Amino acid sequence: MNAEVSDENWVCDGCIREEFLRNFIKKKGTRQTCHYCKEVRACFSLEAVSDLTEKAIESHFYRTPKEPDGMEYARLRYSDGYDWYRDGEDIVQVIEDLLETSSTIADDIQQLLEYKHSDFDSDVLGEETEFARESCYAERRQVSTGRLDSMWANFVTSLKTESRFVNNVVSSTLDGIFLGVETMNTRGKDPVIIGAGPGTAIPSLFRARWCRNQNELEQMLVTPDKELGPPPHQFSGANRMSARGISVFYGASSVDTAISEIRPPVGCEVVCAKFNLIRPLRLLNLPALEGVLESGSLLDPVYIKRCEQAAFLATLTSRIVDPVLPGEEDFSYIPTQVIAEYLADPARFNLDGILYPSVQLPGEDQDKRYNVVLFHKASRVALLKLPAKDDCMISYGHQYDEDDWETDICVTEVISSQKTAPPKAGDHDLSGLSLPEDCRVPALEIELGSVSIHGIRAARFEYSTNAVRRKIFHFTPRISEPEGSVSPLWETDFGLDNSPF
């Protein structure tokens, strides 16, 4: 390092034209005589400016290779007129442009950083180290998410193997991922937080349920508001966004999406209905996170973390909606269940649910095929005054419509002039239990005219295909070998690896 360059040299706000760093020096700097312009102003030490420069370059730039790779070397050797040039700009120019400062200051910072990263072995071998004088740097096209990827891996492992209820790893990871997400901007037209309900693009949701027998089917047709709505907590199983015993509402953007998400068996019948949203709700729009944008100064440490957060959020949707094999739901859904409970906490976010894409119906209309989970606080259905099953008659007939016969299914309420007996208790009748009063404000109301029955005749799959080759491997066992021999027990044909597997 040049003896004239000292980390105790002072750099004033007037010698740095980059807006963030200039204002930072004005606010936090010490009044000193600037080593470069000789004026008394707010200053940072050259070492402090070098540290900020180092963090910015490590986060937003990478050192380019000093030699051509194999393909480039081949072209350089065998192609006439091909010249190889190292990518990027030399390090002094990168620092000068980054700080918007003079070449003298940039040169001094480069010398400090080169001295910091140099070592004896590299000097002896002639290897280039970070911030070396001859090094070149180019701006990264993608922000590294390594820090948050590691936190996510620890988060999933900790939930599955250590603790699920009192867990500091979970809190720190989710804070690092989601804090400030409601204020983020996206490159698309849809914001991160979207409204649902009357007068919005999401005024209603569809919900489906498949029937095991005729009795279940008829019960759904008589009281679809209860049977298709969220189940009581006693019957709530573990799902992607809710743990066992937590009653939430899962809805879809269309009938076909709702049916595909419940994966009904072939041969069964599915009852589907539309639920109108009767009050304004706020949803986290997961697909919009893929286009999150952040702007700021490359020298701002907070901006660097926000860029990492935005880059990680772009991958979050695929992590959350990753398909889970049947039989593994209870274990594999734990991370997404915890995320949903974290986002549902009113102390952190004012959210009522999450919108996420359908993984069962991928295709060109992906933006129109989505699912919504409404948290427990926003999943209450306003029940209608409907008769009991014993007071109804269900007819399955046919009517002639234009040129064809159509199935006509009708639920008829039978009103008797005699005093009726109290209804019999059904399998899921909870009237005899002492349940706490539900103080939630209703958010959903079924549209009776939308109730429909769908017979599942077939299932279609989209799949990839990989061929499997077979071949025969001949080898000759050797019965006796001299002690200490290391020759293989098989003989190989030319061009084959000497491992039988």
Task: Enter the DSSP assignment of 320.
Answer: H
Q: Could you give the percent of the chain with pLDDT greater than 70?
A: 85
The count of other CB atoms within 10 Å of the CB of residue 5 is: 16
Provide the terminal-to-terminal Cα distance of the chain, rounded to the nearest Å: 55
Element (H, E) at 472: none
Give Cα 382 to chain centroid, integer Å. 32
Please list, in sequence order, all residues whose beta carbon lies within 8 angstroms of the beta carbon of residue 91, skipping any fewer than 6 positions away: 110, 131, 132, 133, 135, 136, 137
3 has pLDDT over 70: no
The count of other CB atoms within 10 Å of the CB of residue 249 is: 22
DSSP-based helix, strand, coil % in the chain, nearest 5? 35, 20, 45
- According to the per-residue pLDDT averaged within each range, which of 79-93, 207-221, 364-378 is highest? 207-221
What is the spatial distance between Cα 39 and Cα 453, in angstroms, rounded to a whole number?
A: 83
DSSP states of 123-173 as a string?
A: HHHT---TT-TT-EEEE-SS---HHHHHHHHHHHHHHHHT-SSS-HHHHHH
When pLDDT is averaged across residues 236-263 and rounded to a whole number, the result is: 88
pLDDT band for position 164 (cuts 50, 70, 90) = low
242 has pLDDT over 60: yes
Q: What's the pLDDT score for residue 489? A: 46
Q: Is 18 within 8 Å of 99 (Cβ atoms)?
A: yes
Q: Is 156 within 8 Å of 162 (Cβ atoms)?
A: no
Please calculate the CA angle 247-250-256 and round it to the nearest 5 degrees: 150
- According to the per-residue pLDDT averaged within each range, which of 28-42, 167-181, 186-200, 486-500 is highest? 28-42
What is the spatial distance between Cα 296 and Cα 278, in angstroms, rounded to a whole number?
A: 40
pLDDT band for position 126 (cuts 50, 70, 90) = confident
The count of other CB atoms within 10 Å of the CB of residue 281 is: 21
pLDDT band for position 443 (cuts 50, 70, 90) = very high
Average pLDDT of the chain to the nearest whole number: 84
Q: Is 191 within 8 Å of 205 (Cβ atoms)?
A: no
Query: Helix or strand or coil: residue 325?
Result: coil
When pLDDT is averaged across residues 271-288 and rounded to a whole number, the result is: 94
Q: What's the pLDDT score for residue 485? A: 54
Domain ranges of the chain: 10-139, 142-384+439-465
Q: What's the pLDDT score for residue 45? A: 94
Query: Helix or strand or coil: residue 261?
Result: helix
When pLDDT is averaged across residues 480-500 and rounded to a whole number, the result is: 49
More confident residue, 401 or 478: 478
Residue in 98, 70, 63, 68 with CA at minimum distance from that of residue 83:
68
pLDDT band for position 151 (cuts 50, 70, 90) = confident
- Residue in the block written with tokens 């006509």: 408
Element (H, E) at 407: strand 404-413
The phi and psi torsions of 350 (rounded to 5 degrees) equal -100, 65
What is the spatial distance between Cα 436 and Cα 439, in angstroms, rounded to a whole number?
A: 9
User: Which bin fits 327, alpha (ψ -120 to 50), beta or left (φ > 0)?
Assistant: left
Query: Helix or strand or coil: residue 29?
Result: coil
* 28-37, 51-60, 196-205, 230-239: least confident range: 230-239
How many CA atoms lie less than 13 Å away from 370 in the CB half-sphere?
19
